[in-house]
Amino acid sequence: MRYVLFDVDGTLIDAVSNQRRVWGTWAERYGLDADEVYRVALRTRPMETFAQVAADRDPHECLAALHELEDDDVRSGVYTAFDGASELLHGLTPGAWALVTSNYEHRVRGRFLRTGLPMPDVIVDAAAVEEGKPSPVPYLQAAARLGAEPEDCLVIEDAPSGVQSGLHAGMTVWGVNATVPVEGVHRHFASLREAVPHILAFASAGSCGDAAA
């Protein structure tokens, strides 16, 4: 049996404008330049972002403020699933796919509810692991919870840290929603829509022989 493990933001759900708005509001609260803060936030985890842009502030206070804004955005923001996401997730066998996200489960559930996407049985979020992407731990935990071997798993990602996480876990990794391939991916698709039939074919196949071709 084969399994598919998905990143969420940027892979299944388009949350770029939401993230930019949240970080912009956060920056204004601290009297910082919103564009500069967002540039740093794109490359680093929140605590690392705070260390660079607000080193004189209590990082835990900064994180609490960010979480408050993110939770507000889940309740009131407008979210869009990428074209093909609903067809893809509904086409997979229940119990054969999972979400692996650097966000938190309650926010993912809120976003999926807003976009009408089905929820899987397994979600590995930021609270579930001590080491986030690019560590292999998140994807390995998802595989373990599904009862899957890493070599039977396909990772769908859009970001370099997620791609590295999947590769370090010994899994097949395909990249989506990027104009150029992320370094290391076994296959690249400019959009999720383009990847849908190939992902469904992978999931229904009996062996991984040419999965990385």
Which one from 7, 14, 73, 158 is the annotated catalytic residue? 7
Residue 97 tokens read as: 């796919």
Residue 45 tokens read as: 């985890």
- DSSP letter at 9? B
Closest CA to 73 of 126, 125, 15: 15
Residue given tokens 């923001």 in the structure block: 77
Tell me whether residue 72 is one of the annotated catalytic residues.
no
Tell me whether residue 7 is one of the annotated catalytic residues.
yes
Tell me phi and psi for residue 30, to 5 degrees: -105, 10
SS3 content of the chain, % helix, strand, coil (to 5): 50, 15, 40
Do 14 and 157 touch, CB atoms closer than 8 A? no
Burial readout 33-42 (b: 16 or more C-beta within 10 A, e: otherwise): eeeebbebbe
Do 6 and 12 touch, CB atoms closer than 8 A? yes
Which one from 9, 14, 152, 158 is the annotated catalytic residue? 9
Residues classed as catalytic: 7, 9
